[in-house]
Structure 1
């Protein structure tokens, strides 16, 4: 009882402690643009030393599905973690928010069931034109870029990556397709490959435990490239599923597309794993 009284007296007499000050935690900036009649956020995350290393320029990672409530924060964290290990080059991240993913990221489908389920699908060509004619010039003008642009996406966005690599390859310098939805439109995209893919930019492709037409489409793509293309195929059917493929494979994709070639990665279990490849897989 006496101890409680003294504690109360001390609390009354002790000077009030000022609340610690807080400051905003700012990780990037947002540009609002309109594409396909939809306003969307373009979220730009700059390297930590962007504002101090004023004589330096960076590559750009264009990340599809890059809204705040999409993959932006995951991608930002994985890219930062890669940087801690020098697993891939640090880069400017441009997160491109999607609104209607099937409309923006996929080609028209010949499958009646897909048309019924996704009636707005099939405007990927228009979305790609907006990327190349509006977004890329804006980023190049506004930020210190070094001329290397990488396009990365997962699932439907992975399909968009493969389509862009096939049909408009000069738009980007490297492509990362993580668990691409190659089943779309009866595997139409994979069936279009005729094996003449020499000279196209590097392509990272991964496959989780997708099964069915998705797996068939990815493997058709790989067979067409095998032996005559700069690519890395990461076959993760035994340890990843569609839901966690982006988490597990984006670090590898960036390592392949923006390599640093440091010597210690394999020692720490961070070697690039290309089960099939058009180049050496010991990065």
Structure 2
């Protein structure tokens, strides 16, 4: 693992193989797009990694990976590194990464809660429906219009982002066909989403969808909830669900290793 991390670090810092080239003392790894969101009533930033050889005038199209917590100072840089590395060793196809930068992740990634203490401690929470509409009606159409993409769409979410990715899977499953759900905060609102899951899964899912769920050593509730989610998802034949406990990881360390394993798993032939 340490050797793999060193290799990734070397590539990120020293290579211009697919991260762009030095121009005016600037290392370019992608582009920044801004969306004036009607759904959210604010401007939002998308950090976009384009793979080596990307040409807007060429016929080649690319899968898209949508990354929650996709700010430059959050998960965008190191997840792009994982994607670039797996592409280089031919474990996955060249892909576009769309990092959705945060404004208020508690607001965007959570649905309304009935827990009074959470309402008091986190007063901005509860707007995941709006954020879901933002992705469906604004982000995905923007990417489709402006970039050369296939129909393959992956979402990556950890913690509250994992809660949101789970909510999308259960309520609007066709928004993505690959779900990477890491350490989902299914404890939110007394595990109400987990309780509703069997009923929500009764809606038809028209396309084959792959789901990868991982959890580390993160406390009995989070570990048990992730396992329960995987178990209930296996009841739907349209979902190919992989559950992978990673006991050597904790809440702070799990994302990098789990995304590496998830992308290998979802792209396995």
Match of 2:260 in 1: 251
- Residues 108 and 128, structure 2, Cα contact 8 Å, conserved in 1: yes
- Gaps spanning 5+ residues in structure 2: where? 1-22
- Residues 182 and 215, structure 1, Cα contact 8 Å, conserved in 2: no
- Residues 88 and 254, structure 1, Cα contact 8 Å, conserved in 2: yes
- 2:242 aligned residue (225, 232, 241): 232
Match of 1:98 in 2: 102
Match of 2:209 in 1: 201
TM-score between both structures, scaled by the size of structure 2: 0.83
Taking the aligned partners of 2:249 and 2:46, their CA distance within structure 1 comes to 29
Match of 2:133 in 1: 129
Moved more, 216-225 or 98-107: 216-225
Taking the aligned partners of 2:193 and 2:56, their CA distance within structure 1 comes to 44
Superposition pairs of residues 34-49 of structure 1, within 5 angstroms:
34-35=36-37, 36-49=40-53
After TM superposition, give the deviation of residue 113 of structure 1 in Å.
2.1
Taking the aligned partners of 2:196 and 2:139, their CA distance within structure 1 comes to 28
Taking the aligned partners of 2:42 and 2:150, their CA distance within structure 1 comes to 30
After TM superposition, give the deviation of residue 151 of structure 1 in Å.
1.0
Instruction: Render the CA deviation track for 1:71-113: whole Å, top value 9, x for unaligned.
Output: 1101111111111222222210000011111100111112222
- 1:221 aligned residue (223, 226, 229): 229
CA separation of 1:260/1:215 partners in 2, compared to 1, >3 Å: closer, same or farther? Answer: closer
- Residues 87 and 255, structure 1, Cα contact 8 Å, conserved in 2: yes
After TM superposition, give the deviation of residue 183 of structure 1 in Å.
1.0
After TM superposition, give the deviation of residue 37 of structure 1 in Å.
2.9
Match of 1:156 in 2: 160
- Residues 234 and 240, structure 2, Cα contact 8 Å, conserved in 1: no
- 1:118 aligned residue (117, 122, 135): 122
CA separation of 1:102/1:52 partners in 2, compared to 1, >3 Å: closer, same or farther? Answer: closer
After TM superposition, give the deviation of residue 260 of structure 1 in Å.
4.8
Instruction: Render the CA deviation track for 1:125-180: whole Å, top value 9, x for unaligned.
Output: 10010111011011001000011111111111111111100000011111111111
* Deviation beyond 6 Å, 4+ runs, structure 1: none
CA separation of 1:22/1:119 partners in 2, compared to 1, >3 Å: closer, same or farther? Answer: closer
Superposition pairs of residues 1-283 of structure 1, within 5 angstroms:
23-35=25-37, 36-51=40-55, 54-194=58-198, 196=201, 199=205, 201-226=209-234, 228=237, 229-236=239-246, 238-257=247-266, 259-261=267-269
Taking the aligned partners of 2:161 and 2:130, their CA distance within structure 1 comes to 14
Taking the aligned partners of 1:162 and 1:251, their CA distance within structure 2 comes to 19
Structure index of larger Rg: 1
Q: Name the Cα RMSD after superposition.
A: 2.0
Taking the aligned partners of 1:193 and 1:52, their CA distance within structure 2 comes to 40
- Gaps spanning 5+ residues in structure 1: where? 1-20, 262-283
Tell me the matched-pair count: 239
Taking the aligned partners of 2:268 and 2:88, their CA distance within structure 1 comes to 12
